Each structure stands twice: as structure tokens, then as C-alpha cells.
Structure 1
Amino acid sequence: MNEVFARGPSLLTRLAFVLSLSVVAMFIDTKVESVSTFRAYLTSLVSPLQYIADMPGAALSWSASRFTSRKHLLEENELLISQMTMMNEQLQRFQVIQQENQNLRSLLDAPVRPQMQKMIAELMAVDNNPYSHQIVINKGAIDNVFPGQSVLDESGIVGQVIEVGTTNSRVLLLSDVTHAIPARINRNNVTLIVNGIGDVNELSLEHVPHSTDMEEGDLLISSGLGNVFVEGYPIGVISSILRDESQPFAQVKVRPAAKLDRLKYLLLLWPVEESSEQTLSMTQDETASGEQDAE
């Protein structure tokens, strides 16, 4: 049976031929300079084929990187959103803390006499009775709070303590209709009585003769009469004076110095006598401890 295709050289012969051809090509490449130029042209001709052959792999790599990058971006986006939400929550708390810090600084910088003992209290509750202006603070008998104690904010007198519990106390505001406080005009020391009328933004002066020396803008301060309120702290400013001769007394309105509708932190004061006794007691204790150390 005749073979359709004639058999070529044997494998050994082919191998020997290829090796010989390779040796000759390497010899020519090292000895002939023009071959390098030919090789460069040949490389340029073949390079498009290399790019075409590499395109499927490059496309797959690009697609994989795109999907991976998108997934990474989504995860990073979710992480950043959660971090931003947490930071916004902290920022809100920091803003509240900053405002409270400013209020406390203002309160501590209030014009309290150096010899006065003072303590910061915080508002706990506001009386929901529209006809009674009272608040509850978080200081009580365990903090040595007592009935009749003066209560201030950073601007002026707020009211006085009327009931004392173990851990909290009730304060009657200046604006309550049952409240009255002895006052004097800072400009000329004329003594008056400031009364609440049930309005946190307005007080009044009762039974003031038309001839009383007072002007709009006069500052009213506590006179200390009655031994309830400490002397010399702002009560309010005279906002209007109506002298109607048909009426027996002038109608005088006062704008409170304290922000009675925006209370948060308050200042409790102890009388000068009590502060002096405590200072004297502390001095005696320090002297006694010093003598014991000397012995």
C-alpha cells in the first residue's frame, strides 16, 4: 500500500538541523552588526502581533481590576459614611459641651464677692403650673442648701430657695406674682420693692411716688434689706416709667437682669456671716494642725 504523504527526515535529523541553524544564527548575530538593525525591524513588525495576542489577557485583567476597584470603593464608601455619621454625632455633643463650658465660664466669672461661698447647681425641672414660676435644682440638704438662699445666674439674681430636699431644692423665681425683693437704684441709692407679675421678661415697681428720682435705664441691685438676698447683685433695669397724675403712683416696668426663660446652670450663694465663720473655722483648723506638726 502506497503512502499518501511521503515521510520526511527523521527526528534526529531535524534536531541536528535546527541546532546547526541556531548556532549559525547566534554566530552571525554576534559578528555582523547589520543583523541588530534587522532584528529591530523584525521586532517592530512582530510587536503588533504581540499586542494582539496579549489583548485577551489584558482585557480580563482590566475587567477584574474594575470589578475589584468598584467593590473596594463601595466598601470604603460605606466605611466613610459610617465614620462621618459617628463624627457628626460627636460634633453635636461637642457643640453642646462647648456651649455648656461657655455658660459655666460665664457663671464662674459672675460678679460674686470674694468672701462669698458659692456652688454651681443645675436645673432639673420647671414647674408646669402657668401661675407659678418655680424651678427645681439638683442641690439639697446634703449640699448645705437652706430656705431663703440666694440663687443667681451669670447675669443677676434669679430667685430664692423656698423648699429644700435631701438632694434637690425648689426655687421661687423673681417673676412669680408672690415674690418681692428689696432693691435700690445703683445711681442714687433710692430704695424700692421689685415685684413679680407672672412674666419672665418683666417685673414691676409697686407704690412708687411720682416724685421719685428714677430714670429709664437705671440699674436696680439688691439692697440686702430683710437679710434674705445678698446685697449688691443686679436685679434688673428700669425699662419704662409712666407718670399719670390721675393715678396715685407711677407705673414702672423692669427688665430682669437674669435670663429667667433660659436657665441651665445656677449659682448658690451663702451669706457673708456664714462664709466668715467657715473661713475662721478653717483657719483655726489649719492653725491647730500646724501646732500639732510643730510639736
Structure 2
Amino acid sequence: MKPLFIRGPSPTLRVTLAVMFALGLIIADHRYERLERVRVVLSVLTDPLHFAVDAPTRAIRATQERLVRESQLRALNQALRRENLLLKGRLQQFEALEAENMRLRDLLGSSFNVGERVLIAEILAVDLTPARQQVMLNKGANAGVFIGQPVLDANAVMGQVVRVNPSSSVVLLITDSEHALPVEVNRNGLRSIAAGTGVGHDLELLYIPKNADIREGDLLVTSGMGERFPPGYPVARVTVVRQDPDNPFTTVLAEPTARLDRSREVLLVWTLDPRMYPNALTDAERIRARVAP
């Protein structure tokens, strides 16, 4: 059988019907709220679709945020490490400055005890071998340093200047095997010569009679007999007093009270009239040193 109507409703009629149906739904939903349950059911059905569609975008966004956060954390961690290292370095510098300040206070206290013109110098190089016991200072002829000048630290005598350059000088320590220093026992005034052994930090007292009154623990001070060091400067403390049958003299060893292997700053001392050092003045004038009166 053939249909009675071959053609359906016209497009215009379809659009009109659709618009009227839509308006009816709007009026029913807005005025009477009849479609709330339908909206809830449709949202339950469409939420998984929305979640699935938005999943790639959210994954990309989360990955970007995670990467940004990791890079920020790494940068922050690296910055904190650098800051920590810098602060530790500054802390070490502060500790070094504090220790240097204490050493300088000791030196200044020693200079007040000396009561003469002094100059603080810093040790640049150290040569503590059995063949040579000497240090280099950062003060020279330009600062008035002269050959034979006494050198002290905060505790005792360290040595004397043996070579002077315009901006540096070399000090021969009292422990050098070529150094000898007139000393006396502070307790009773017994005089002797403290010679360096070149081995370790020991001094040996020469020509001590076997009946001499000297004991372990006695303090040795400069006697002033050599006209190089003024009297009364601490030098060493007696550590060994031994009687050897084959030796006509008493074997006496002493340990310097100066911190020969630890001092960083020393005192260059003007204690006696420089005219008492004719050889030193000649060498100083040769390099145009200005020796203070």
C-alpha cells in the first residue's frame, strides 16, 4: 500500500513546534520547577562524560604544576644550600676573627708589659725543619725593622731578625741549632746559654755545673748579657735535669714558653738603643731602613 502523504511536515512547521516546545519547557521549569528532577538525572548521566572529557586537561595541568613545583623546590633547595654554605663560611670567618682578636689582645697586653715601642707583624711563611728553624714576617725595612731586632709572641721570646727585605723579614727562632741566647734562672739568677737543638722545640743549657741549683720547672728569662735582648723576657721552662757520668756538666733541657708552632702574629720590639747595634744599623742603612730612635 502506498502512503497517503508522501511528504512530512515542512521545516518551518518543525522549527515552530520545536520553539514552542522549548518555550513550554522554560516556562514549566522557571515558573513551576517541574524539570528539577530531570536535570538531576541528566547531570548524573552526563557527569562521567564531563569528567572523561576534562581528564586530559587536568592531567596536563597537574603535570605542569608538579614540574614547576619540583623545579622551584630544586632551585629553592640549591639556593638554601648556597646560603647555608655562605653562612658557614662567614661563621668560620667570625670564629677566625674572634680567635685573631683574642691573639691581638694578648699581643697588646704583652706590649703593655714590655713598655717599649712595638710593632705587630704577621707570619707569612714557616720553615721548621731540623736544618733550619725560621719564619718570615710581613714587615721589613720600610717599617723600620732591623737585623738583630728581638721578636716575641704573647708569651715569650721567639727569636731575632736575621734578614731584612723592604717589605718582609726573616726571623731565626730560638730553637734553631745556630741560635744561642744568654738566659738566667728566674728563681736564683743562675746564668747560662740556651742553645737551640734543631730537633723538636727543645733548648739545651750549656755549661751547667753538676752542683748548680737548677730544677725542673724553673723559668728561664733573658739575662741581657748579650746586649741583644733586654733582661727579664721569658724564654723557656726547664723540663729535664740529668746527671751523666761521662759528662762533666749537667744535662739541662728546656721547653720554650713561646708558641713557636701556633702563633700567627708576633711583636717586633724596640727595647734598647739602636746605637748598641752597629752592625745592624749598617745593614739597615744599606737597604735604607728607618730605625726609630
TM-score of the aligned structures, taking structure 1 as reference length: 0.74
Deviation readout 1:260-288 (Å, 9 max, x if unpaired):
234532221111668xxxxxxxxxxxxxx
Amino acid at match of 1:95: Q
The yes-or-no answer on 1:186 pairing with 2:183 is: no
8 Å CA contact 2:175–2:195 kept in 1: the answer is yes
Distance 1:257 1:29, change over 3 A: same
Question: C-alpha distance in 2, partners of 1:162/1:49?
Answer: 96
User: 1:59 aligns to what?
Assistant: 59
User: 2:267 aligns to what?
Assistant: 267
User: 1:120 aligns to what?
Assistant: 120
Question: C-alpha distance in 2, partners of 1:96/1:136?
Answer: 24
The yes-or-no answer on 1:132 pairing with 2:132 is: yes
Deviation readout 1:14-62 (Å, 9 max, x if unpaired):
4433332333222222333564344334323322222122223223333
- Report % sequence identity: 31
User: 2:78 aligns to what?
Assistant: 80
Question: C-alpha distance in 2, partners of 1:199/1:107?
Answer: 29
Aligned with 1:47: secondary structure? helix
Structure 2 residue runs of 5 or longer lacking an equivalent are 1-5, 275-293
Q: CA RMSD in A?
A: 3.4
User: 1:153 aligns to what?
Assistant: 153
Deviation readout 1:66-89 (Å, 9 max, x if unpaired):
455556566x27x827x8468647
Shift of 1:146: 1.8
Between stretches 147-156 and 92-101, larger displacement belongs to 92-101
The yes-or-no answer on 1:106 pairing with 2:103 is: yes
Amino acid at match of 1:212: A
User: 1:208 aligns to what?
Assistant: 208
Shift of 1:168: 1.9
Deviation readout 1:206-225 (Å, 9 max, x if unpaired):
11122322222222222333
User: 1:36 aligns to what?
Assistant: 36
TM-score of the aligned structures, taking structure 2 as reference length: 0.75
Structure 1 residue runs of 5 or longer lacking an equivalent are 275-295
Amino acid at match of 1:265: E
Question: C-alpha distance in 2, partners of 1:221/1:231?
Answer: 7
Deviation readout 1:100-154 (Å, 9 max, x if unpaired):
6514531441323262222121223445875232333221121111222111223
User: 1:95 aligns to what?
Assistant: 92
User: 2:198 aligns to what?
Assistant: 198
8 Å CA contact 1:200–1:261 kept in 2: the answer is no
8 Å CA contact 1:104–1:265 kept in 2: the answer is no
Question: C-alpha distance in 2, partners of 1:71/1:7?
Answer: 66
Question: C-alpha distance in 1, partners of 2:197/2:244?
Answer: 20
Q: Aligned ranges for residues 273-292 of structure 1 at < 5 Å? A: none
8 Å CA contact 1:152–1:159 kept in 2: the answer is yes
Distance 1:23 1:189, change over 3 A: farther
